[in-house]
Amino acid sequence: MDNGFGNWVTVQALRNGGRTALVDDIGGRELTYRELEGRTNRLADALARRGVRRGDRVGLLTLNSPQMMEVYFAVAKLGAITVPVNFRLSPREAAYVLADSGASFLFSSTGLAGLAEAVLAEYGFARHHVTIPMAAERAGGDDGEYGRLLAEGSPDRVVRDVLDTDVSVIMYTSGTTGVPKGAMLTHRNFFFNACNAFGFGAGLGREDVTISAAPLFHIGALGVHTLPFAHIGAATVVMEAFSPETWLEAVERYAVTKAFLVPAMWAAVARAMEGSTRDLSSLTFAVTGGAPCPLPVIRSLQAQGMEFTEGFGMTETSPNAACLSPEDVLSHAGSIGRPVMHMDFRVVDDEGRQVAPGMVGELAVRGPNVFVGYWNLPGETADAFRGGWFHTGDMARVDDDGYYTLVDRKKDLVITGGENVYPIEVEQVIYGHPDVNEVAVIGIPDERWGERVIGIVAVREGSDLTPDALMSWTRERIAHFKAPREIAFVDALPRNATGKVLKRELRRERTGGSAAVTR
């Protein structure tokens, strides 16, 4: 019996076969669930004919496309494992992910041919390598080499015994602090993640339409909406690449109702909305995660009539773990909200004991959406899971009403003059300045204080704000020992493909090293 998420397509083909499942970018082909079932059956059979067996790893080095989602579903039907790769990595880094996972089959986009060739030269792992054409190439109805692979397979359902506890995806952590680790996510993880997603805002229904513009190699785009929408039989517009103008066009064209973007993308959308004449009335719900969203962006989206919520999650929680209700987004700004339905939280000290409300400790979580461990890293897995809880590495506190607030990553804590400073807390204050577009706070070595707090800020175009003026403004709103002793202005903060600020790069620029201060 197939208890994997590949079977979701099979069930929806029976229940909602004529309804749209996937839309291929702007003006592209629309696939019904019945068509998606036939194509993923063909792909699963073709992969099996080429030797892909239960537990084998299949690499994805691709831009967003319906074909990328077809690979996820087809591989799941075989009981095999998909390994999505961040296409913004260097060839050496991408080759590391494929080598570490032991992938034997690779799909890549034709637009990433140079990267794919360099990766294969670096690793030389793949028994098979198949390319997926770009959206402009697919517009003529030609699926290229990928289409020829599908033609090799039978449209009959390939049935494998797939347990819900089987690993379905190995998704590598973003690597913002070092070598990435492969988080093993099961079919059961994704099922309960979908259940948790159904509780966001007013919930999801098969009449809903979402848009996947953030990269589908990342857990945010895959897990917040795309897979939950497939579970419930709703439609997803898949965008090959994000730009705010084309995103708005897609929302209008396909009457998108709910959308996920990371904060930097929402900020770009909010700016593009100013003066736009597009009809966006269908879009009633917006969700973000991965980083705090500036309040001016939230207010701008709410002014467009959208319910807006912020969620918290990790690759290891597949990802939905907590969220703010739309009515709490402004009144509890800075909080990640309360745990989702199938999730338990606690804040613990270094010995694993729960601390009192208001006290800072490490956030530990448990639930059926939490991953089962790191690929080939039993020591790292054992260290992460202690006492039946996954220790996230995030420092947090909870109030008497059950709202959790992250104060920073444990490893990013700054100790200056013996006082603990949590950069997220300082960043939230600086974000309150109307001229601030982006901010990151780090600690760098200081002979007198051990560390000193540094703010790296990108200001809005046309602003006459100075670093000294911003430092003074910040000191009026936060304890002086927490306020930056230095602020540097930059055009933009370095971010990875998921929108997370690369603080290691900021430290390297200012100290010559990427690690946080050693204590």
pLDDT digits over 432-459, tens only? 999 999 999 998 887 767 788 999 999 9
pLDDT score for 177: 43
Q: What is the pLDDT of residue 295?
A: 81
Q: From residue 47, how far is each of 42, 242, 253, 315, 324 by CA, in Å?
A: 9, 30, 35, 27, 42
Q: Where are the domains of the chain?
A: 6-326, 339-409, 413-511
What interhelical angle do 295-303 and 263-273 show, nearest 10?
A: 50
**What is the CATH number assigned to the segment(s) 413-511?**
3.30.300.30
Tokens 């879009």, residue? 283
pLDDT of residue 503: 84
- Quote the pLDDT of residue 502: 82
Architecture of the domain spanning 6-326: 3-Layer(aba) Sandwich (3.40)
Quote the CA–CA distance of 275 and 281 in Å, as a whole number.
Answer: 15
Write the DSSP string, 64-128.
S-HHHHHHHHHHHHTT-EEEE--TTS-HHHHHHHHHHHT--EEEEEGGGHHHHHHHHHHH---SE
What are the respective helix, strand and coil percentages of the chain, to the nearest 5? 35, 25, 40
User: What backbone torsions phi and psi does residue 198 show, to the nearest 5 degrees?
Assistant: -65, -20
pLDDT at 320: 95
Does residue 291 contact residue 500 with C-beta atoms inside 8 Å? yes
Q: Which residues of the chain have pLDDT under 50?
A: 175-177, 513-519
Dump strand ranges (E) for 399-515: 404-409, 414-416, 419-421, 436-446, 450-459, 486-489
Q: Cβ atoms within 10 A of the Cβ of 462, count?
A: 6
Q: What is the pLDDT of residue 497?
A: 57
From edge to edge, which strands make up the β-sheet containing 105-109?
Answer: 128-132, 105-109, 57-61, 81-84, 167-172, 182-186
What is the rounded average pLDDT for all residues in the chain? 91
Supply the pLDDT for residue 396: 92
Residue 21 is predicted with a pLDDT of 98
Tell me the two tokens of residue 398: 């909870």
Q: What is the pLDDT of residue 517?
A: 32
Q: How many residues does the chain have?
A: 519
Q: Tell me: domain 339-409, CATH 2.30.38.10, correct?
A: yes
Which residue's structure tokens are 């030389």? 124
**CA-closest candidate to residue 229, choices 253, 248, 254:** 254
Element holding 280 (H helix, E strand): none
